[in-house]
Amino acid sequence: MYLGLKEMRHEKLRYTLLSGVLLLIALVVFMLAGLANGLSNGNRQAVDTWQAQTVYLNKNANQTLSASQLKLADKSKLTGNQVAPLATLAGTLRTTSNSKKTTTNALATSRNSFLMPKIVSGHAINGKNQILISAGLKAKGYKIGQKVRLGTTTKTVKIVGTYATNTYMISPTVYTDIATLNRLKGAPITSGKQQTINGFVTKKSQFKTSHHGDLEKISINTFINKLPGYSAEQLTLNTMIYFLFVIALAIIGIFMFVLTLQKQPLFGVLKVQGIGTKHILAALLTQSVAMALIGIVLGLGITVGLAQLMPAGMPFVINWSQYGLYSLALLIAAVLGALLSWRTVANIDPAVAIG
């Protein structure tokens, strides 16, 4: 400890540079993690707010909501409380004058279903052709009472309420009832039990009998992982993060190894004086952990700072427990990197110092 820290103090430039490299790695790890979280959240936020357990889709839909077609009447095949129908339409929200256009994901469920978001201003849907908009759309200038178009039809709907920020597959959401959505889709049936929907979302439920036609039961986690692009995106970003841990380990390992080779005569002198491998290794560990800590702390600080400066449209979410875990992984990489020099240190022959 003493040896390691004193050396760092004396060789400021060398250790500052190495800390700087670790800072950059930590920064990239934290930025990538923030983006991965942001993208993940952007994709699944709507699903997470449901706090549901199970989803029922058409078994031929490859577990994808938009590809699934069911009828409202299929609900009779399920038992359980809180079984909510769900229909979606990815479409453009625009003002009647076409002066404003925003890509949204419209979600429809029955008016009193548990999927309906908590109203922040305005009122819940209580009649035909009404929609609720999420905070992101409100921020874009859409207002309660405004008549808007959704999708490609010329039919208009009225904004009657707003709710908290909410996105599904990166786009801000709009909520409406099943009949309104079917009308906007131009579906042939726009009332009654024969209306088409995409699936059912439930908290606790099961099939009534083993004869359940085309219905397939999937867990909410499977549902999220099957969101188009979601798994591939997360896998890509997470793989980059895991590679960075390996790179951090390699960089510390190589640096410490080169420094150890350079300092062999010094370590020889230490051994002559009875200061053994254990103490030398402790010094190397102190140094790499200290550098990693400097890099991590500064990296976190800069990440938080950059997050404030990021444009609102950039999906970036800081998850502290995850950052804690990644910091720990970087620290472990630093410790392992230093330990790579263990054999070299152990093999230094004190007799060489005597010459």
Partner 1 sequence: MTKPVLALQHITKQFGHGHTAVKALTDANFEVAPGQFVAIIGPSGSGKSTFLTIAAGLQTPTNGQVLLNGTELATQSEKARLAYRFNEIGFILQSSNLIPFLTVTEQLKLVDKMAKRPFQKDKAKTLLAELALSEVVDAYPNELSGGERQRVAIVRALYNDPSVILADEPTASLDTPRSIDVVERLAKEAHQHQKAIVMVTHDQRLIGNCDVVYRIEDGVMTRQ
Rounded to the nearest 5 degrees, what angle is found at the Cα of 187, between the Cα atoms of 159 and 69?
105
DSSP string, 206-274: EESSS--TTEEEEEHHHHHHTSTTHHHHHHHHHHHHHHHHHHHHHHHHHHHHHHHHHTHHHHHHHHHTT
The nearer residue to partner 1, 80 or 350, going by C-beta atoms, is 350
Among 275, 289, 317, 335, binds partner 1 (CB under 8 A): 275
Among 271, 285, 287, 333, binds partner 1 (CB under 8 A): 271
Number of residues that bind partner 1 (CB under 8 A): 23
The nearer residue to partner 1, 93 or 283, going by C-beta atoms, is 283
Q: Is 11 in the site for partner 1 (CB under 8 A)?
A: yes
Structure tokens at 105: 């994901």
For residue 281, give the nearest of 254, 258, 260 by alpha carbon. 260
Which stretch in 40-48, 115-123, 126-134, 272-280 sits in contact with partner 1 by CB under 8 A? 272-280
The nearer residue to partner 1, 240 or 275, going by C-beta atoms, is 275
CB of 330 to partner 1, least distance (A): 26
- CA 290 – CA 323 distance, rounded (Å): 18
Among 3, 187, 224, 339, binds partner 1 (CB under 8 A): 3
Q: Is 17 in the site for partner 1 (CB under 8 A)?
A: no
Among 272, 304, 325, 328, binds partner 1 (CB under 8 A): 272
Answer yes or no: are the C-beta atoms of 323 and 299 closer than 8 Å. Answer: no
CB of 255 to partner 1, least distance (A): 17
Among 186, 235, 273, 314, binds partner 1 (CB under 8 A): 273
User: Which residues from 211-270 bind partner 1, rule CB under 8 A?
Assistant: 265-266, 269-270
- CA 335 – CA 44 distance, rounded (Å): 36
The beta-carbon contacts of 307-315 under 8 Å, at least 24 apart in sequence, are: 307/34, 312/139, 314/38, 315/35, 315/38, 315/39, 315/41, 315/42, 315/170
Binding site for partner 1 (CB under 8 A): 2-3, 6-7, 9-11, 265-266, 269-276, 279, 350-351, 353-355
